[in-house]
Amino acid sequence: MKFAKELTERFLRYVAIPSESNGRAGVVPSSEGQRELARLLEGELREMGLEEIELDEHAILTARLPGNKPGAPAIGWVAHLDTVPVSLSPEVHPQILHYEGGDVCLNAEKDIWLRLAEHPELAEYVGQDIVFTDGTSVLGSDDKAAIANVMTMLSALVADKSIPHGDIRVAFVPDEEIGLCGAKLMDLEKWKVDFAYTIDCCSVGEIVYETFNAGSVLFEIEGVTAHPMSAKGVLVNPLLVGADIMACFDRKQTPEHTDGHDGYWWFWGCEANDSRCTLRMNIRDHSKENYEARKKYVLDVVDMIRVRHPRAKIDVTLTDVYGNIIDALGEDRGPIDMLYQACDELGITPKTIAMRGGTDGSVLSVRGVLTPNYFTGGLNFHSNAEFLPIPSLCKSHAMTMKLIELAAR
């Protein structure tokens, strides 16, 4: 708990800046709050005296702390600036409560509660100080707990130059939540590391080096309009064409019916009127072979629906969003093995998970920089039930410091 005060202060300072990403913006960064947060971090990095600090037009912030141990590997840490865009307030109002068990009243005025019956994971944290939301927003430990972790690590190394380490490069990137956009735009010719880490999963001990292969699908349907009184044989209802498309996808292969290594289809958006219908769907699968088969099935469905509705115009756009870290692993497991060694030396029980999502490491690993992922300590990401036990945040930071130690041995 040596760094608890600094970690907590930094976390609260960073979540005070609204930085929700916007999937409809069409630019990177997709929100000015992310740029504001990047500027704040840039100032703090300059105060620490880091080198090669660069904040580019996309709000990608990178910096280097020169190593003091010849031969030690250059390690990168990546954290994302944005919080998830959900139907909650972008303003975060955190509160620190000493949890004594039972239900937690997040907001007395609005009668918002975190019920132990609905969130039994709370029981593991009795007697701890925990950062909660006020029930109106996400907390933002995804991924501002990571930002606090990395900045506290840099501060510790600058303050204590006796700690041996190789070059350390950091990157704070925008728009992870809407397609890992920042990681895709990083200049890896400048950001040269031997390997890297993200800190972007949940409870203490979680280790991730397997993520989904991810794709997005856009269906654009143009029907034929007609007045109902003279519509027979003329009208082509684009909503019904869209419904026929959706009916071709197994309802048991959706997020609410799958877990573990199961892939899924997820129709998450629909915009329609009497002449046009737009459907948006995500494809996810851990298996590259199955992922490619799912993409082919989408095209087969569209071909079939075109035959069924020959007068409708149906366009489909398939986009690869990110790949599975494990597919880029190769022969070098060193950075992954260090995660397990760090857990062992810290007395942390590792929990290896196949992540049902992606991280910036999914993009960076495919681009040639192996980037596994470890825990922030936060729980219930992407909801107003998100919370961050401060002792867990400290354990995540201890992992970061231990990885530096192990790499320098």
Catalytic sites, residue numbers: 82, 176
Which distant-in-sequence residues (6+ apart) come within 8 Å of 280 by Cβ? 216, 217, 218, 219, 267, 268, 269, 270
Cα torsion for 144, 149, 152, 156, to the nearest 10°?
Answer: -170
CA distance 55 to 170: 12
- The long-range contacts involving 91-94, CB below 8 angstroms and separated by at least 24 positions, are 91/18, 91/136, 91/137, 92/15, 92/16, 92/18, 92/133, 92/137, 92/138, 92/139, 92/140, 93/133, 93/134, 93/136, 93/137, 94/12, 94/15, 94/131, 94/132, 94/133, 94/134, 94/139
Rg (CA), the chain: 23
Given the structure tokens 């927003």, which residue do they identify?
137
Question: In degrees rounded to 5, what are phi and psi of residue 215?
Answer: -140, 160
Sign of the torsion angle spanned by Cα atoms 11, 13, 14, 15: positive
Before 143, cis peptide (omega within 30)? yes
CA distance 94 to 104: 14
For 206-245, the DSSP string reads EEEEE--EEEEEEEEEE-B---GGG-TTT-B-HHHHHHHH
